[in-house]
Amino acid sequence: MYGGNKHSGFSFSGRASGKCRLLDVMKRENGREAVIFADLNLPDTRSRIIGNSGGAKVVWSRGDSFRAHYSVAGEYYFADFQTNIDGAALAEFTTDANLEGGSGFVCIYPGYTNMDYSSDARVFEVIVPSEQTAVSGGIEEGLNRSMAYADQYSPRGNLHFRNMLSLLKFRLEGDIAGDVHSVRLTTTGQIAGSHAVFWNNGSPGIYPGYFEDSERFSCITLSGDFKPGVDYYIALWPSVTSGLEMTFSDGNGLYTTLQSSKEIVFSRSEIVDFGAIVLGDEFMGDSPVSISTEHELYCGATDGLKPVTVVIIPEGFTLYELPQYERLARMGLDYVFETEPYHSYKDRFNAYILKVASDESGISIKDGNGNVTEKRNTYFGVSRSQSSYEDLDANSTTVSRFVSANCPDILNGIHSIQEVPIIIVANDSRYGGICHFSPDGYSYCIVPHSLAGGRIEWKYPSITTVSEANPSLGYRNTTDEEYQEIGRSTGDWRNLFLHEFSHALGRLQDEYWKTNNSAVTSRIMAQQTYSVPFGLNVSASYETLPWQELLDPREELIQVNPLYGRIGVYQGGANAMYNVWRSEKVSGMIDNRPYFSAWQRYLIVQRIMTLTGDADAFSFDSWLAKDNPVDPIRDGVATRSSFCLESGSVPLYPMTNPPIVIDE
């Protein structure tokens, strides 16, 4: 497939598959430049893309350059290569670097903006811009991020660049197609911004979310003078979207919008062809109004004396962005009702997606001391620190008043605001999530669209107590065998949605541990005596465990299902290592997995039955008859998860901040 090229100096050749190796590497001698031939002859390798009847012609451009990162005797180096060839699929690149003795060459086109050597891996940041320029029949030069890898010197071998991205291809038709000046693509996953190339041993992998302060976007704007009937491309990070929106605008603020709820997979090195998009004969109006008080019923109760009412509200979404919020809200609720015990009791829920637009997109930024440094004109006043996921709050009064005035089940007297858990979906891509709650039952949680839908992994705490009953014995490191037993919790922002939702509705406390907080015992005991108790899933007493009477006769439960053998007594929870006990080793209140312990499931169902007015009919036997003790991670049940770009490890993220009591 390739032309067997060889050059005196440093040469690359490439094939469609096979292990990649560098060829004939020589140091610079007598002022000669080291030379490399880089191939872009495959359909899935692209620098500059020019459309044709075959789909896309791929060529290098004069001035193109890439950077090769490599190591020599444990030290890291890089070499920049550049070409003067234009319009060729196979081009000669040169560098004046001395490459002798190097290994582990990671070659990135056209480069990176950040890198990290802090871990065993080398990590390079690669950014896809959220603002792109329309090019007839292709994409702008330098936009298509590509990568090649060579493990070591060898007299024989293969190498080719492969692009990291996916392309969306479309053409415009209809009466107003020639008046379009921008096309905005919005999805439910991260399609622009920062990704990381990880290299440790072997071929590098590509993952979102490593550089926490970097921007991530679920939308891309393609701008230019569009011509009817001409192919255009949007370059985007591979992802899976459960819906998308395309907004077509003219130069005077007028726009028209098309939406799809279909799941679409944007895969690496592949083109998703939308074909002809017919726009019709006129644009819509210009300036959006600042507020919309419509609502959507996601699911309606068919069982119980009255429904369990749940409300989702948006923060920092402009009127143009509300369709994106609606898709995110449905994604979060889908995940909740795929998870037990919510799945088995979905017929008792009224879940409302309320709609209200903010004047500005995003949320306000604070300096870490509570002072707003970057103000956004948003409806509920959500703000957070630039670099912290803990300082996340909203105007509680505004939240309460809005929901009271717009939730149908509050307006018709079925529930009070204290009985309606509220989830705020925030238009922010930084990692985070938090719940605020009151003793009387009122609660709201804030869930950003963390990492713009990118992949996230959470790890079980690295230390655990030596003895559940005797805190004075100290702690030990969590063993590899325990990690193997527990499994890896990997997902995306929907796991945070599920976790925070369970704080708000189930009144569950966190069960992870970080420090030995001496005040935690009295705090837990106080919260469990609230008019609507909070944190009954953990115990501040080893002698009187709240789950002991119902769940301690494990042998009887094991006869029902062996998975109930996981019930026991484990020290650690509510952010403290000592003097707090939980009923199972791991659950979604520790590492955000889609699994709740048996005792947590019991408390959630008890709360559901109380809110539906059926508390008298609730019993342990009725709960057990419908209970499903399967953990999808440990028990091998397939669940929906975010799109994985490459196999391998994923950067770990911490557990979110503990729930905060309102006005305490």
* Cα–Cα distances in angstroms (integers) from residue 156 to residues 12, 107, 476, in the given order: 10, 19, 50
Q: Residue 21: pLDDT above 50?
A: no
Kindly report which listed range (27-41, 128-142, 175-189, 227-241) carries the lowest average pLDDT score. 27-41
Predicted confidence at residue 518, as pLDDT, reads: 64
Give the residue, 453 or 648, on which the prediction is more confident.
Answer: 453
Q: Residue 96: pLDDT above 60?
A: yes
Q: Which of 11-15, 205-209, 322-326, 437-441 has the highest mean pLDDT?
A: 437-441
Predicted confidence at residue 55, as pLDDT, reads: 56
- Banded model confidence at residue 105, pLDDT cuts 50, 70, 90: confident
Q: Residue 566: pLDDT above 60?
A: yes
Kindly report which listed range (11-25, 84-98, 431-445) carries the lowest average pLDDT score. 11-25
pLDDT digits (tens, 9 = 90+) for 479-524: 999 999 999 999 999 999 999 999 999 999 999 998 766 668 888 9
Closest CA to 426 of 373, 481, 365, 470: 365
Predicted confidence at residue 414, as pLDDT, reads: 96
Q: Are 312 and 328 in contact (CB under 8 A)?
A: no
The contacts of residue 549 (CB under 8 Å, 6+ apart) are none
pLDDT digits (tens, 9 = 90+) for 273-305: 888 998 877 776 543 333 445 688 999 999 999
pLDDT digits (tens, 9 = 90+) for 371-395: 888 999 999 999 998 766 678 999 9
- Banded model confidence at residue 260, pLDDT cuts 50, 70, 90: confident
Q: Residue 27: pLDDT above 80?
A: no
Residue whose token pair is 């402009």: 318
Predicted confidence at residue 413, as pLDDT, reads: 95
Q: Are 423 and 504 in contact (CB under 8 A)?
A: yes
d(CA 209, CA 594): 21
pLDDT digits (tens, 9 = 90+) for 151-187: 765 444 455 778 888 889 999 998 888 999 999 998 8
Global pTM? 0.78
What Rg, from alpha-carbon coordinates, does the chain have?
A: 28
Give the residue, 4 or 84, on which the prediction is more confident.
Answer: 84
3-class DSSP string for 90-152: EEEEEECCCCCCCEEEEEEECCCCEEECCCCCEEEEEEECCEEECECCECCCCCCCEEEEECC
How many percent of the chain have pLDDT more than 90? Answer: 46
Predicted confidence at residue 48, as pLDDT, reads: 57
Predicted confidence at residue 400, as pLDDT, reads: 96
Alpha carbon 384 to its chain centroid, in Å, reads 18
Give ∠ CA 206-493-537 in degrees, rounded to 5.
Answer: 130
pLDDT digits (tens, 9 = 90+) for 195-213: 888 887 777 888 776 676 6
Q: Residue 611: pLDDT above 60?
A: yes
Q: Are 390 and 434 in contact (CB under 8 A)?
A: yes
Strand 434-437 relative to strand 660-661: parallel, antiparallel, unpaired?
A: parallel
- Banded model confidence at residue 444, pLDDT cuts 50, 70, 90: very high
Mean pLDDT across the stretch 585-593? 97
Predicted confidence at residue 120, as pLDDT, reads: 65
Kindly report which listed range (72-76, 122-126, 439-443, 481-485) carries the lowest average pLDDT score. 72-76
Predicted confidence at residue 34, as pLDDT, reads: 38
d(CA 349, CA 333): 11
- The mean predicted confidence, pLDDT, of the chain is 82
Give the residue, 326 or 153, on which the prediction is more confident.
Answer: 326
Q: Are 592 and 532 in contact (CB under 8 A)?
A: no
